[in-house]
Structure 1
Amino acid sequence: MICTGFLSEVDRTDLIELARDGSAAHRLARRANALVLLDSGWSCEKVAGALLLDDDTIRRWHGLFIEDGLEGLTRFEAGGSACLMNDEQQEKLKAWVAAALPRSTRQIGGWIEKEFGHVYAGRSGLIALLHRLGLAYHKPKVIPRKLDEDKQKAFIATYEKLLNSLPDDEAVLFADAVHPTHAARPAGCWAPSEETLAIEQTSGRQRINIHGAVDLETGQTRMIEVETVDAASTIRLLESIEAFYPMLVLIHVFLDNARYHHARIVQQWLAQPGRRIKLHFIPPYCPHLNPIERLWGVMHKHVTHNKSYATCAQFADVTLEFLRAKVPRNWPRFRDSVTDNFRVISPATFRVMT
């Protein structure tokens, strides 16, 4: 008896899609159908009966999948092969994909037809071929143009040293500005197949300016809405932070190297007697070293994705309510997405597309 649950969520989704793909070879679809039924708890005998096969065939298909995954299901015995291309053509395809970085299977299928005269009627068979050749669908990461590994390492070491020696009467916050636009942001979601979804678009021209800070230890935030993010708004934010922590001796605020953070009036404000804030600057071109950048992403996910607001004022109210109240109140839920689990990004580890 084969135990249920041997499919990963990704494998199960791929197999169901393959089984429902009317353009896939019928024998390949039957194999996919058999694996999904086995994973749902059906016995080999029951699956074989449903598909008008013998149970040894079902067991053999299961063995192929366990050994080689989806690629194993695309191999057939004498009488045919799921692959239309010989070894030399496959190597040429692999080299072309590596050089051209095509964005769709449609583009790849067109190249194969033009170069070799082979037509892949089904997307699933072509995807199986690409996987078998060691090719995968990638979404490129966006990295800054100028990254200094040594400065990243030095910053991380300094930050960790500060945290390890931080007294109880001090705190660490990360600050930044964000400018969300009053516009609907469509995002993929599951829905009944017969429905066509839409979001009512807004003007997309108005935006709000928020200068804010977050305490990763407690989830407390300080968020001010401003007309313009500048040196004056920086001082307002720092005043808000000091007022929120009246009993602390020193508050460490980490921020980026925006010119207004270095402005003379900001330095003059910090030099006033009784000020309890010390600024620490993140290395240039390193937004990944500022956790509040991740908080902005969480905000968009909960406030702007698949959401539409009639007015910019309503949009501003919901955004600020989320950042000022919902984030601190639900910090255990959000903190794993807004962390100081820093890493060094090295351009040498990427193939940079041009």
Structure 2
Amino acid sequence: MARTGRPKAELVLTDDERETLNRWARRRTSSQALALRCRIVLECATGASNRDVAALLGVEEHTVSRWRARFVRDRLEGLTDEPRPGGPRKITDAQVEEVVVKTLETTPKDATHWSTRSMAKEVGLSQSAITRIWRTFGLKPHLVDTFKLSKDPQYIEKVRDVVGLYLAPPEHALVLCVDEKTQIQALDRSAPVLPMMPGMPERRTHDYVRGGVTTLFAALNTATGEVIGQIHRRHRAVEFKKFLVRIDKEVPAGLDVHLICDNASTHKTPAIQRWLTAHPRFHVHFTPTSSSWLNQVERWFALLTDKQIRRGVHRNVQSLEKDIRNWIKTWNEDPKPFVWTKTADEILERLAGYLKRIPDSGH
């Protein structure tokens, strides 16, 4: 006997409904949830079964069944989230769409981005209404993030090389992320810091007195999280060579050493090349230009800055260097490696998505 399941609701679209669903599904400013629901309904309208639609769109079968039934019952209004308890809505879907579209696709005449006040004046709603709409759709016109695209002609090869070391490190070898944190300033406040008290945060003067600078050379073991650190007052190939000697002494002789470095000139001088040639167990892997985020030691530098340097008070360089050494010692007593999860393909796919959003990117 043939297996019978729950009968699917018959779904037939009008021309206007089909046009609206296609517009919502294609508009890049639609929420991902709404766009998916529109695609589900459009596929169901072709006569496909819930199982086939679920397989095509990569969702669960019960998800398709729910939105099919919601659309048959409530039509286009059924694709929005269920209303919450409370008074009747005073803002229509058309007004919400107008706010979202204007926020994403236009700017005011006298500013680079919308504020709640300017948008409220533009569309005739209250500032609190604009705030609620922006919060619902995750819109933050006042914020801006930064990025930089690498122009390295070997970008793809280098990304695959470095990420491969993170996800599948070679046997009988250590993978070390190496870099220098330069120009670390010893800063003393112009007046004593006032300690935190109940109901009052720590207070300090906004101005400071410079006591000199230093440079930290660090190598992060990607497997254990341990750090080899060395401090020098200058940042040259001479100091980098001394740091390589330090690494050579601390890593057991039977292990190869894979160094992940950036493209700083101090890493590529003839003296460094001769040293690496004389020590064949060292293998250098360069990150792409403008891609410091690919080097895990940069994340460790951020922790050092947040936990020790930024709010530290140091009258001289010696005091600063002592605190840095103590912090490294404390870190190595309970090291925590960073877990890399993104594959090279996922990184490159994300980059491709950025390029598609940039007009005239040439890609």
TM-score tier after normalising by the smaller chain length? 0.5 to 0.7
Where does residue 159 of structure 1 map in the other structure? Answer: 165
Cα 1:196–1:339, aligned 2, differ >3 Å: closer, same or farther? same
Where does residue 219 of structure 2 map in the other structure? Answer: 213
Structure 1 residue 118, shift from structure 2 partner = 4.1
Asked if the contact 2:176/2:221 (under 8 Å) is kept, the reply is yes
Where does residue 262 of structure 1 map in the other structure? Answer: 268
User: Is the aligned partner of 1:285 residue 2:285?
Assistant: no
Alignment match of 1:76 (pick from 81, 84, 87): 87
CA distance in 2, matches of 1:127, 1:225: 49
Where does residue 181 of structure 2 map in the other structure? Answer: 178
Where does residue 109 of structure 1 map in the other structure? Answer: 116
3-state SS of 2:209 partner? coil
Q: How does 1:243-262 map to 2 (within 5 A)?
A: 243-262=249-268
Where does residue 347 of structure 1 map in the other structure? Answer: 351
CA distance in 1, matches of 2:101, 2:167: 47
> TM-score, normalized by length of structure 2?
0.59
Cα deviations by residue, 1:288-312 (Å, 9 ceiling, x for unpaired)? 2211111111111211344434444
Alignment match of 1:137 (pick from 137, 140, 143): 140
Q: How many aligned positions are there?
A: 260
CA distance in 2, matches of 1:92, 1:197: 46
Cα deviations by residue, 1:31-89 (Å, 9 ceiling, x for unpaired)? xxxxxxxxxxxxxxxxxxxxxxxxxxxxxxxxxxxx969x836x523xx74x4xx5544
3-state SS of 1:208 partner? strand
3-state SS of 1:76 partner? coil
CA distance in 1, matches of 2:261, 2:180: 10
Structure 1 residue 183, shift from structure 2 partner = 5.0
> TM-score, normalized by length of structure 1?
0.61
CA distance in 1, matches of 2:144, 2:296: 21
Structure 1 residue 135, shift from structure 2 partner = 3.6
3-state SS of 1:72 partner? coil
**Which runs of 5 or more structure 2 residues have no equivalent in the other structure?**
1-79, 189-195
Cα 1:183–1:90, aligned 2, differ >3 Å: closer, same or farther? farther
Structure 1 residue 144, shift from structure 2 partner = 2.5
CA distance in 2, matches of 1:296, 1:111: 41
Asked if the contact 1:181/1:204 (under 8 Å) is kept, the reply is yes
Alignment match of 1:226 (pick from 205, 226, 232): 232
3-state SS of 1:181 partner? strand
Asked if the contact 1:175/1:211 (under 8 Å) is kept, the reply is yes
Cα 1:310–1:205, aligned 2, differ >3 Å: closer, same or farther? closer
Cα 1:219–1:116, aligned 2, differ >3 Å: closer, same or farther? closer
Q: How does 1:229-244 map to 2 (within 5 A)?
A: 229-244=235-250
Structure 1 residue 347, shift from structure 2 partner = 3.4
Asked if the contact 2:263/2:287 (under 8 Å) is kept, the reply is yes
Cα deviations by residue, 1:304-342 (Å, 9 ceiling, x for unpaired)? 34443444432332123212x1221121xx32xx34445
Cα 1:153–1:220, aligned 2, differ >3 Å: closer, same or farther? closer
CA distance in 1, matches of 2:167, 2:304: 30
CA distance in 1, matches of 2:280, 2:157: 28
Q: What letter is aligned with 1:255? A: C
Identity %, equivalent residues:
14
3-state SS of 1:199 partner? coil
Asked if the contact 1:226/1:233 (under 8 Å) is kept, the reply is yes
Asked if the contact 2:232/2:239 (under 8 Å) is kept, the reply is yes
Alignment match of 1:316 (pick from 321, 326, 335): 321
Cα 1:271–1:310, aligned 2, differ >3 Å: closer, same or farther? same
Q: What letter is aligned with 1:115? A: E
Cα deviations by residue, 1:195-251 (Å, 9 ceiling, x for unpaired)? 355334433684321112111223332212122222111111100001112433422
